[in-house]
Amino acid sequence: MSEIPTAEQFDLVVVGGGPGGYSAALYAASAGMKVAMVEKDALGGTCLNRGCIPAKAFLETAAVHRHVAHAAEFGIESSAPTVNFAVTQQRKQKIVDGLVGGIAGMCKNRKVEVRNGTGRLGAGHTVTVTSPDGSTTELVGTSVILAAGSVPRLIPNFERGGPIMTSDEVLDLDYVPQRVVVIGGGAIGCEFASTFSDLGAEVTILEGLPKILPGLDSDVANVVVRSFKKKKINIRTGVNVTGHTPNDSGGTVVQFGEGETLEVDAVIVSVGRRPYSDELGLDGTGVVVCDRGFVEVDEFCRTGEDGVYAVGDLINTPQLAHVGYAEAIVCVKQALGERALPVQYDRVPWAIYCHPEVAFAGPGEEEAKAAGFNVVVAKHPFKANSRARIIDETDGLAKVIAEVGPDGRAGRILGVHMVGPWVTEQLIGGYLAVNWEATVDEVAEFIQPHPSLTELFGETVLSLTGRSFNG
C-alpha cells in the first residue's frame, strides 16, 4: 500500500519571497523558528527584481550622465557623454542577481526552507505548494504570514505590449526611448520621468489630478516641479488619458485631455499597484479580501484567521519595502508570543529618488494644520548650505513642522520634509526626531558635522528655537 505523504510541519510558513516575506522568514529564523518560505518567481519580489533596486540603478546611471555633462564646471574636460543603455541594463541585472543570490544564501545559512512554487492557503494553516512541474506538497505552519505583494495597475485601452509599458517592462529596457510619456505623476512615475529626462529623452508627464506627487508638502512638491521644468520635462496636470493609436515606427499616438495628442516612442503606465491576492486560495479560511483585493488585517497585521498574518503590499498600508520589513517583525514577534507594537503608519520614512530627491517623515504643513495642530514652521534652502554649493546641487530645502508648545514656542517636532541632494540619506535625524516625539529644544542640542548637507536640518531646527546662525 502506498503511503499518503504527510504535511511537513513548521513554526512559520511564509507565502511570498519579497521584502515582506523574506524579512519575516529571516527574522523568524534568527529567533530560532523553523521556517518555510514559498516563492513562485524570484526571491526578492518586486523590490529587488522589478522595483526599488533596478529603478535606483537606472537613476544612478542618470546621475553619472548629469555629472559627466557638467564635469567642465569642475575643471574636468571631457567629451559630451553618450548613453549605452545596454550596459546600464547589464549593470542593473548584475546588482539584482547579486542581491537575490544574497537572500538565497542567507536563507540557506539560517536553514529557511525555500520552496519554489505557488502557495495556496487552505483550512488548518495548510499551505499547498504547486511546483512549476505541477507536483504538490503540503506545509503546515503554527503561524502563517501572507506576503504575496502587488502588481502594476493598468488603465483601459492601454494593454501592455510594444510601446505600452508598466514598470516591469521599463526596467528590462536596454535602450533609452527618445520620446516618453509617463501616465501618472506619483513617486514611481516621477522617478522614471527624471531618469529618462536626464538621459536625454523628451519626457511628458500626464497626471489626472491637479498636481504631481499629490500628498507631498506643497513647498517640497514645488521644488520638484521647478527642477523638472528646468530639465524640460513637460508636466500636464488635470488631464485624462483616453487611448492611443500605434504608429508605423513602433511608437504610438496618445490621446488625452480635450482632444490633444502626443506621439511618443514609449508610454510608461504608472498609475499605482494592486494587491496580488489572486493565487492565495484562502478557501476554508477566515482570511477576508476586500473589494479592492487587499487582505484585511487589524493594526497587528492579524487576518480574520487566528495565527495567520498578512504584510506588505498585500495589505492596505503604505506600499514601501521598509514598511513590509516593519510589519514582518510585528508578526513574527506575535508568533513568538512576544509583545509587538503596531507600525505607526503616519510616521514612516518616505523616500522618492528622482532628481532632486524627496524624503520625509510625519505630516507636512497642510496636513498637520488639517489635523488640527497649531504649528510653527521653519524652512531653509540648500543654496545656503556650503556642501550643497561644493557639489553644485543647490535646488531644495529642509522644512520642519513643530507643534506650538504651552509656552507659545516651537515644541514637539511633528514632521520633517526635505527635497534636494541625497536627502534620502539624510532623513534619519528627522525620522528619529518625529518618532521619538522630540522637541525642537532637544534636537537643537545635537551637532551636525561641517561641512555637510545635514547641517541644513540642524540649522532649520535651531532656527525654531528663536535663534540661529543663518537666516
Ligand X SMILES: Cc1cc2nc3c(=O)[nH]c(=O)nc-3n(C[C@H](O)[C@H](O)[C@H](O)COP(=O)(O)OP(=O)(O)OC[C@H]3O[C@@H](n4cnc5c(N)ncnc54)[C@H](O)[C@@H]3O)c2cc1C
Give the one residue of 150, 204, 385, 426 binding ligand X; rule: CB under 6 A. Answer: 150
Q: Is residue 145 a contact residue for ligand X (CB under 6 A)?
A: no
Is residue 450 classed as helix, strand or coil in its secondary structure?
Answer: coil
Binding part of the chain for ligand X, among 66-74, 220-228, 317-325, 447-455 by CB under 6 A, reads 317-325
CB of 314 to ligand X, least distance (A): 6
Determine if 186 is a binding residue for ligand X (CB under 6 A).
no
Q: What is the smallest separation between the CB atom of 277 and ligand X, expressed in angstroms?
A: 8
C-alpha cell at 270: 504608472
Using the rule CB under 6 A, give the single segment among 94-102, 137-145, 148-156, 368-376 that binds ligand X: 148-156
Residue 219 contacts residue 379 (beta carbons within 8 Å) = yes
Give min distance, CB of 17 to ligand X, in A: 5
Q: What angle do CA 19, 21, 23 make, to 5 degrees?
A: 65
Pick from 344, 318, 361: nearest CA to 457: 361
Residue 212 belongs to what H/E stretch?
Answer: none
Report the Cα 44 to chain-centroid distance in Å: 14
Binding window for ligand X (CB under 6 A); candidates: 95-103, 132-140, 316-324, 412-420: 316-324
Residue burial 98-121, b: 16+ Cβ < 10 Å; e: rest: ebbeebbebbeebebbbbebbbbb
429 belongs to the binding site for ligand X (CB under 6 A):
no
Among 13, 15, 423, 453, binds ligand X (CB under 6 A): 15
Kindly indicate which of the ranges 13-21, 97-105, 217-225, 396-404 contains the residues binding ligand X, using the contact rule CB under 6 A: 13-21
Q: Does 185 bind ligand X (CB under 6 A)?
A: no
Size of the site for ligand X (CB under 6 A): 38
Cell output for 417: 520634509
What's phi and psi for 384, nearest 5 deg? -90, 5
Nearer to ligand X, 69 or 155 (CB): 155
DSSP-H helix ranges across 32-84: 45-50, 52-69
Q: Which amino acid is at 326?
A: A
Cα separation, 219 vs 6, whole angstroms = 60
Residues 343-372 that bind ligand X (CB under 6 A): 353
Q: Which of residues 318-347 bind ligand X (CB under 6 A)?
A: 319-322, 324
Maximum separation of any 2 CA atoms in the chain, in Å: 86
Establish if 55 lies at the interface with ligand X (CB under 6 A): yes
Min CB(377)–ligand X separation in Å: 27
**Range in contact with ligand X (rule: CB under 6 A) among 42-50, 177-185, 228-236, 430-438:** 42-50
Name the residue among 411, 464, 467 with its Cα closest to residue 437: 411
450 as an active site residue: the answer is: yes
Of the two residues 114 and 368, which places its CB atom closer to ligand X in the complex?
114
Cβ nearer to ligand X, comparing 43 with 233: 43
Alpha-carbon gap, residue 428 to 329, rounded angstroms: 20
Which of 65, 125, 355, 450 is labelled catalytic?
450
Nearest distance from C-beta of residue 27 to ligand X, angstroms: 13
Within positions 237 to 276, which residues make up the interface with ligand X, using CB under 6 A?
Answer: 276
What is the spatial distance between Cα 190 and Cα 234, in angstroms, rounded to a whole number? 12
Handedness of CA 261, 262, 266, 268 (dihedral sign): negative
Q: How far apart are CA 55 and CA 147, in angstroms?
A: 22
Residues near ligand X (CB under 6 A) are 15-21, 38-41, 45-47, 50-52, 55, 118-119, 147-150, 167, 188, 276, 279-280, 312-314, 319-322, 324, 353
**Catalytic center residues:** 450
